[in-house]
A and B are shown apart, each in its own frame.
Chain A
Amino acid sequence: MSKQVNLTINGKQVTAPEGMTVADAAKLAGIDIPVFCHHPKLEPVGMCRMCLVEIGRPMRDRNTGQFVMENGQPKIQFMPKLETACTNRVEEGLVVLTTTEKAVDGQRGTVEFLLTSHPLDCPICDKGGECPLQNLTMAHGPGKSRFNYNEKQHLDKMIPLGELIYLDRERCIQCARCIRFQDEVAGEAVLGFDDRGRYTQIISVSDPGFDSVFSGNTTDICPVGALTTTDFRFGARPWELDAQASICTQCPVGCNTTLNIRREAKAGGEVVVKRVMPRQNEEVNEIWLCDKGRFTYHYTEGKERLTKPMVRRDGKLARASWDAATKFAAEKFNAHKKDFVVLASGRLSNEDLFNLKSLADTAGGEAILYSDMGGGELTQLVGVGAGTNLGRMGKGDAILVIASDLYEEAPIWWLRVKQAADRGATLIVANPRTTKLDRFAKYHIHYAYGDEIKTIHDFGKKSRISDEFAKAKNAVIFYGSEGLGVNGTSALASACAVLLKESGHAGNANNGLIGVWQRANDQGAFEIGFRPVPNLEKALKGKAVYIAGADPVGDDPNLAKALESAKFVAVQELRETATTEIADVVLPAQAFTEREGTFVSGERRVQRYHAAVAPKGDSKPDYAITAMLAKQMGVILQGTSATVVFDILSNSVEAFNELSYDALAQVREQWPIVGRSDMYYGGTTYENTKGMGVQLLPMAQAGGTVRIPKVRKEAALRPKEKELLAVPANKLYDLGVTVRTAGFLDGRIGEMMISMHPSTAKKFGVEDGRKVKISFDGVSAEAPVRLDETVASGVALIRRGMGIAIHEPVIAKIGGRVKS
């Protein structure tokens, strides 16, 4: 713990850690000093002058360096002028006065100045009601202005900075919180000031505008209504919204969110989600949320949502009752008991997956995880220890990111890893191509696709990088699925686990392995016993398949073919997908906004989400559907409530160690204080009152035996003369069900592309932007080529989820006649 310093604020004795600013120290002690530009997560700049206070310092004797005493007390010398509380650090014996006439006068004057050109259009401003400028004007403002109202500047309103954020120039008070956030926290300096004096304005300096996946956060910390989201524009007034705690379902980070809901006439009198806001959890997402998490909740809405169970009769899907539909499916599954397969994805909650797994086990079926990434059994062994907080990693620690582009796969991890590197942690990025994280890395290793295991084994040899990794106080490895399939990732996870175990970085907080999964609850699926298979096509062929939360037909034509030959297909899904179109039975499931459940994040933190809105139509939660179907099959499962299922789950799955919803609901004191009545300080992020979750103990920490399976060696793929290596990589905004259907991010999804190095393109005689035909493994697709110098030569990089079904590295051919 850092050294503590004693000071006095308004006569109150305050103790604060050394290096803290006076404004923060006051906040810590429960004294409010008004601020606009200062934010506890940003470096102080002292631009707005709102925090003017009187500061006195104890006088020291010039010769002895001792305090000059007066009546037994150190003599305090006040500065003749007011000082900013946000730029002064705490010192021993400091005396701060925030409510003297002089200080109050200074603060009042600052508000008066800030309002000289503020439009005061609070009635139509989206920030009105949760606006720091409004609140601080009421608390510290003069009430009357001496300036002439008619001299107000009228500037442009509603300037789109990007397609997600609007800027209102009149409302901006030039505090630079947004610029500094992009600069310091997100590391993407896409905003800046333009012009000077009264003409100063915020501009986006990127193309496309506001090119950052963290843009939504600037609207949270903007102390006025200058930055607002296009999504929530005029959606509701903040005081009309109710809040419900939730967890983001888009990636394995498991960001804590708050769903703001309201009953709406536009939605036919239904209660709907109006916006998604971050909820503070300093151990997971701090107070941030990426744009994918903030804006994709719309996928739970719309006409394509399934509302009634359907059964295929005479080749057509027809509405049926729950009883009839589940009975029909149960009969078919019972008839094909030997071929029963459950295919589920990490979009489902633990409760759902547990019921599915129980059904598969009891009925003698196989439980398959719909994922291209393996290794979850290794994160169970040497995953990060309980108590892990990336926010505490810094100097002396090491973070290795291998085969993953965190920015595209788990933006908040990217942000936190970047910040750990800023604090001095050794960041090692190992990837075949340059990623956005390289800029912050101390070392980057550019290996060739197929050399992932070798790269990890090289850490066993002596080198500067391996030395620094081995000697690090704490070390975390993030491994992903770039250029790897199920077998490759499993092998890589094993190699990483061995490295962590041998270097003594397993079984403690801030030490261990983290899988950068493709879906939010893949880790939970592994805990419960689901496993991905290397060849899904083979696993589904001729089987009776029960699919939950996955769209294999839409994702992969080979899987579509396999399912065509399946004996029976029942699909449990939110929306109409290509898979529901071919299904024999369709069972409508509830979205995460409509039900409760738990997810296990990549850091193996179990977190709970709550129901916020009413379910659509006759849909039911997945665990309840499975229980109904199971009952018809003669298997008794619990489906009455998520709590009951979770209790059984935590009693039967060892890793959950008799965890309960009560334990998940516990909260701890967090710093900085955000989201209470004083939004001026931390922004509009919600305070966490519904629970911070519990991290599962990895085997290495629980004291069990850690037996790491041998790393399977696979023959490297060697393309022949006229061939090239096609490799998959993940993309943040893809064409997956939960992104495409949200509608809002269309502009950022982009086109299906095949990226290759200019030299490779030249070899195959293709130009930038030209459409080519690529074929591998029975897949044949056409897409334009994009030249990209960061891609290794001889390689075609294909993004997953963009239309070309690629699960693992394959040898591909380019050429053939292009249709259009």
Chain B
Amino acid sequence: MGVFDPIIELSKGLGETLRSFLTEKTVTYQYPEEKRPVRPRFRGRHVLKRYDNGLEKCIGCSLCAAACPADAIFVEASENTDDKRFSPGERYASTYEINMLRCIYCGFCEDACPTEAIVLGDNYELSFTSREQAIYGKDMLLEPVASENMLTPRKVEVGIYTRSVPEMQDPRD
């Protein structure tokens, strides 16, 4: 082994560093200023979805709570009327709570939902300073609406929204 061998090896290595610095793209994200997009199947904070007309998809059937392995969901149902309609059909969730500290983001609630109302979203930025804060109510979970007149509850025409469980396509993604 020659005297210069370590120097040659060193410059080879430094050369590789220089090459990747000059030719490769950076993978580091400057979080929180910059956020890495999540994968299509990412399971983040839940969202309670609405139909296009603003009515809530959730019918308060509590199947998500039944499917939840962490017992993180609590649902209470009440009756819809055409004067005060939250969701199509007879029943809506008057209380919907998820304890985010208990939730393990398994997505079973999504699978159990007969109306595709509860969906795990993109948001992974959850932080709380007390246990009470970790309980997300309906006010926090419901998807925002585009305009005021789409808010629930609202008065609707009599006899149109009679079906609770809509016909749906097979979810394929």
- The distance in angstroms between the C-alpha atoms of A121 and B61, with both chains bound, is 10
Which chain A positions have C-beta within 8 A of B162?
154, 157
Q: How far is the CB of B75 from chain A (nearest CB, A)?
A: 8
With A149-B167, A237-B66 as known contacts, state yes or no: A124 contacts B95, CB within 8 Å.
no
Known contacts A234-B78, A266-B76: does B91 contact A120 (CB below 8 Å)? Answer: no
The residues of B that contact A124 with a CB separation of less than 8 Å are 59-61, 77, 89-91, 164-165
Roughly how many angstroms separate A264 CA and B63 CA in the complex, as a whole number?
Answer: 17
Cα separation A566 to B162 with both chains bound (whole Å): 62
Interface flags, A250-267, vs B, CB<8A=1, else 0: 000000000000001110
Q: Which of A123, A124, A240, A264 has the most CB of B within 10 A?
A: A124
CB of A809 to closest CB in B, whole Å: 48
Residue pair B79, A234 in contact (C-beta under 8 Å): yes
Shortest Cβ distance from A150 into B: residue: B167
Beta-carbon contacts under 8 Å, A219-260 to B: 233-234, 236-237, 239-240
Chain A residue contacts of B115, Cβ below 8 A: 123
Question: Would A123 and B79 be within 8 Å (CB), given that A149-B167, A266-B95 are in contact?
Answer: no
CB contacts under 8 Å to A, within B12-70, are: 59-63, 65-66
B66 and A266: CB pair below 8 A? no
Q: Are B62 and A237 in contact (CB under 8 A)?
A: yes
Shortest A47–chain B CB gap in Å is: 28
Which residues on the B side are within 8 Å of A236 (C-beta)?
62, 76
Q: Does B108 contact A (CB under 8 A)?
A: no
Q: How far is the CB of B154 from chain A (nearest CB, A)?
A: 20
Query: Is A702 positioned at the interface, with any CB of B under 8 Å from its CB?
Result: no
Q: Does A29 contact B (CB under 8 A)?
A: no
| Distance of B129 from chain A, by nearest CB (Å) | 22
Is A578's CB within 8 Å of the partner chain B?
Answer: no
Q: Count of A-B contacts with CB under 8 A?
A: 51
Q: Are A233's CB and B95's CB within 8 A? A: no
Judge whether B94 is part of the interface by a CB distance below 8 angstroms. yes
Q: How large is the interface on A (under 10, 10 to 19, 20 to 34, 35 or more residues)?
A: 10 to 19
Known: A233-B79, A234-B79. A265 touches B74 (CB 8 A): yes
B169 to chain A, nearest CB (A): 13
**B97 beta carbon closer than 8 Å to chain A:** yes
CA distance A233 to B89 in the complex (A): 14
Query: Smallest Cβ distance from A188 to chain B, in angstroms?
Result: 29
CA distance A123 to B78 in the complex (A): 13
Does A667 belong to the interface (CB within 8 Å)?
no
Contact of B90 among A158, A239, A240, A264 (CB under 8 A): A158
Q: Mark B85-127, 1 if CB is under 8 A from A, else 0.
A: 0000111001101000000000000000011000000000000
**A121 to B91, alpha carbons, bound, how many Å?**
11
Q: How far is the CA of A535 from the CA of B127 in the complex (A)?
A: 71
Neighbouring A residues of B59 by C-beta, 8 Å: 123-124
The answer to whether B165 and A240 touch across the interface, beta carbons within 8 angstroms, is no
CB distance from A270 to the nearest CB of B (A): 13
Chain B residues positioned under 8 Å from A234 (CB to CB): 60, 77-79, 90-91
Minimum CB–CB distance for B158 against chain A, Å: 14
> Which A residues are in CB contact (< 8 Å) with B114?
123
Cα–Cα distance between A233 and B66 once the two chains are bound (Å): 19
Contact A121 B164 (CB under 8 A): yes
Cβ A266 vs Cβ B94 within 8 A? yes
Closest A residue by C-beta to B95? A265
Q: How far is the CA of A360 from the CA of B133 in the complex (A)?
A: 55
From residue A160, how far is it (CB to closest CB) to chain B in Å? 13
Chain A residue at smallest Cβ distance from B114: A123
Distance in angstroms between the alpha carbons of A265 and B76 in the assembled complex: 8
User: 13 extra interchain contacts, Cβ-Cβ under 8 A, other than A123-B164, A123-B165, A124-B165?
Assistant: A120-B165, A121-B165, A123-B114, A123-B115, A124-B61, A157-B162, A234-B79, A236-B62, A236-B76, A240-B66, A265-B74, A265-B76, A266-B76
Q: What are 28 A-B interface contacts by the 8 Å CB criterion? A: A120-B165, A121-B165, A123-B59, A123-B61, A123-B63, A123-B115, A123-B164, A124-B59, A124-B61, A124-B165, A154-B162, A157-B90, A233-B79, A234-B78, A234-B79, A234-B90, A237-B61, A237-B62, A237-B66, A239-B66, A240-B62, A240-B66, A264-B76, A265-B74, A265-B76, A265-B97, A266-B76, A266-B95
* B-binding residues in A (CB < 8 A): 120-121, 123-124, 128, 149, 154, 157-158, 233-234, 236-237, 239-240, 264-266
| Interface, chain B (partner A; CB < 8 A) | 59-63, 65-66, 74, 76-79, 89-91, 94-95, 97, 114-115, 162-165, 167
